[in-house]
């Protein structure tokens, strides 16, 4: 049994990562068109960041969870703006990557291509620059760009970054991202997204970083706060974008990020976006209840309520892998899920997942009931399972014990193969099923 189990786990991991890295996928070189950017998973054959050494499936799941734990702690520190940033978890494991999905961006004139991580819970863009201490090998070279310009301390933009200091020439600032600290100069250059040039785009040119949370070739923040891409491209994109995240299992692994109101889906369900003035970049929505099969599970209303003061509520996030629910909500969902699968079927655990099965099961559907919009997840968004189908886990969890989280996070595994539309002018978030690849 043990051998069979580990064989099937290995097989799943092969599907997750390695079969994908065999052979070159010609799609990787397809240029982005219009205002559409291809979105790749970090394990995609088009990603240079896919792991090079084989790990067991268990190890890969545990790593994704460890990464999620750091992410959740980071998001919680954002939500509770008044409280000092919590100490990052010292995980013994090497964390493969921070945010899970990457897009291609071209910086400067002539353009230099970087693969930046998409982060819907962050405003800023940070790009590692030549001479950066602690960055990976691929950096943006400002001297090679004719449109590059450092911003000085008197610039209006410098007043929008946290605790700016005046460097020799430029406005500088330090921030933390997950477990990383990042020292940057505030600069401007043209960024080209698909075929849209955005002149004089303000971003952080990283000069020094520590820790392992920073994505290797930079971060593209899709939050909606000041200095965000949305704020800086107001005329071009009208604070509207949508994305479709490809499944981990998809052999082609390409989704899309569509910027601006043109070409957005018309047949899509909406829920209002909520605004937390203390944390303007997060996309909060009102999750009212959760249905497992046909039954709405019983949870204390306070566990789901939006509270701008404490940061409590529900957000959509592109950087967390597995949905995290506050404990009473998770327990109610899990218990009903187990009841529906059947008491006779033995439950096992895997890392932070406490509802796994070593035999094939028929999973109930899970429906998130938002204000004005119900989203029913198909099994692919609920279960993570091995190729042979012999191990499957409910791919959600409660916030870990050491994270005092009040946030429910609808994460990327649950968003895969759905189009998520952010429409800031109309203050709404749309969800529609779509096969991304
Ligand atoms: C920011 O980080 C740099 C590099 O680590 C350090 O030299 C500088 O003192 C820091 N500045 C502030 C204001 O903390
Ligand atoms: C969502 O489902 C609930 C109950 O399951 C139902 O009462 C409600 O009308 C539905 N909402 C929408 C917008 O369809
Ligand atoms: C992957 O791409 C190929 C060719 O581009 C296509 O024929 C195939 O249907 C795709 N597979 C999936 C699962 O989308």
208 lines ligand 1 (CB under 6 A): yes
Calculate the CA dihedral of residues 284, 285, 289, 291 and round it to 10 degrees.
-100
What is the average per-residue pLDDT within 92-118?
76
85 lines ligand 2 (CB under 6 A): no
251 lines ligand 3 (CB under 6 A): yes
Apex 123 CA angle, 242 and 327, nearest 5:
80
* Per-residue pLDDT at 384: 85
The structure tokens 């008197």 sit at 154
pTM recorded for the entire structure: 0.85
Summarize pLDDT for 328-377 with one digit per residue, the tens.
999 999 999 999 999 888 988 887 889 999 888 899 999 999 999 999 99
- Ligand 2 pocket mutation pick from 291, 374, 432 by most atoms within 8 angstroms of CB: 374
CATH class of the domain whose range is 2-433: mainly beta
Q: How far apart are CA 315 and CA 271, in angstroms?
A: 12
Nearest ligand, CA 181: 1
Question: Which range among 138-152, 267-281, 306-320 has the greatest average pLDDT?
Answer: 138-152
Question: Which range among 38-47, 152-161, 412-421 has the greatest average pLDDT?
Answer: 412-421
Indicate which atom in ligand 3 lies nearest the CA of residue 252. Answer: 1
Q: How far apart are CA 32 and CA 272, in angstroms?
A: 30
224 lines ligand 2 (CB under 6 A): no
91 exposed, middle or buried (CB, 10 Å; 0-12, 13-18, 19+)? middle
161 C-alpha to center of ligand 1: Å? 14
Please determine, for residue 46, whether its predicted confidence score (pLDDT) is greater than 50. yes
67 exposed, middle or buried (CB, 10 Å; 0-12, 13-18, 19+)? buried
Q: Where are the domains of the chain?
A: 2-433
* Per-residue pLDDT at 249: 67
3-state secondary structure of 430: strand
Nearest ligand, CA 175: 1
Give the residue numbers annotated as catalytic, written as ranges. Answer: 119, 317
202 C-alpha to center of ligand 1: Å? 20
173 C-alpha to center of ligand 1: Å? 8
263 lines ligand 2 (CB under 6 A): no
């Amino acid at each position: 049994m043990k051998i069979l189990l580990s064989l099937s786990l290995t097989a799943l991991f092969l599907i997750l990562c390695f079969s994908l890295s065999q052979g070159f996928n010609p799609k990787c070189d397809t240029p982005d068109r219009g205002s559409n950017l291809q979105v790749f998973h970090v394990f995609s054959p088009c990603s240079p960041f896919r792991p090079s050494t084989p790990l067991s499936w268990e190890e890969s799941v545990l790593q994704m969870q460890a990464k999620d734990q750091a992410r959740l702690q980071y998001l919680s520190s954002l939500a509770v703006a008044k409280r000092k940033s919590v100490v990052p978890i010292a995980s013994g494991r090497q964390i493969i990557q921070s945010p899970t999905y990457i897009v291609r961006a071209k910086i400067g004139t002539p353009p230099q291509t970087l693969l930046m991580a998409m982060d819907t819970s962050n405003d800023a863009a940070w790009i590692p620059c030549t001479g950066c201490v602690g960055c990976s090998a691929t950096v943006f070279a400002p001297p090679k760009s004719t449109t590059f310009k450092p911003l000085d301390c008197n610039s209006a933009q410098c007043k929008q970054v946290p605790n700016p200091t005046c460097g020799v020439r430029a406005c500088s600032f330090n921030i933390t991202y997950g477990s990383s600290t990042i020292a940057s100069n505030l600069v401007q250059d043209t960024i080209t997204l698909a075929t849209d040039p955005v002149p004089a785009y303000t971003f952080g040119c990283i000069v020094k970083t520590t820790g392992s949370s920073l994505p290797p070739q930079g971060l593209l923040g899709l939050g909606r706060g000041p200095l965000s891409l949305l704020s800086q491209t107001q005329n071009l994109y009208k604070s509207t974008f949508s994305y479709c995240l490809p499944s981990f299992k998809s052999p082609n692994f390409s989704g899309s990020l569509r910027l601006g109101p043109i070409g957005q889906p018309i047949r899509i369900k909406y829920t209002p976006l909520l605004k937390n003035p203390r944390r303007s970049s997060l996309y909060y929505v009102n999750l009212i209840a959760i249905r497992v099969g046909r039954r709405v599970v019983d949870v204390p209303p306070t566990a789901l309520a939006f509270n701008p003061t404490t940061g409590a509520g529900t957000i959509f996030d592109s950087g967390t892998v597995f949905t995290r629910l506050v404990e009473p909500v998770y327990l109610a969902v899990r218990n009903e899920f187990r009841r529906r699968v059947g008491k006779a079927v033995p439950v096992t655990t895997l890392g932070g997942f406490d509802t796994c099965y070593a035999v094939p099961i028929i999973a109930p559907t899970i429906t998130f009931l938002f204000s004005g919009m119900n989203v029913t997840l198909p099994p692919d968004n609920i279960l993570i399972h091995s190729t042979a189908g012999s191990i499957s886990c409910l791919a959600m969890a409660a916030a870990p014990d050491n994270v005092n989280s009040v946030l429910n996070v609808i994460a990327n595994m649950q968003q895969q193969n759905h189009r998520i539309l952010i429409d800031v002018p109309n203050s709404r978030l749309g969800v529609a099923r779509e096969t991304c690849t």
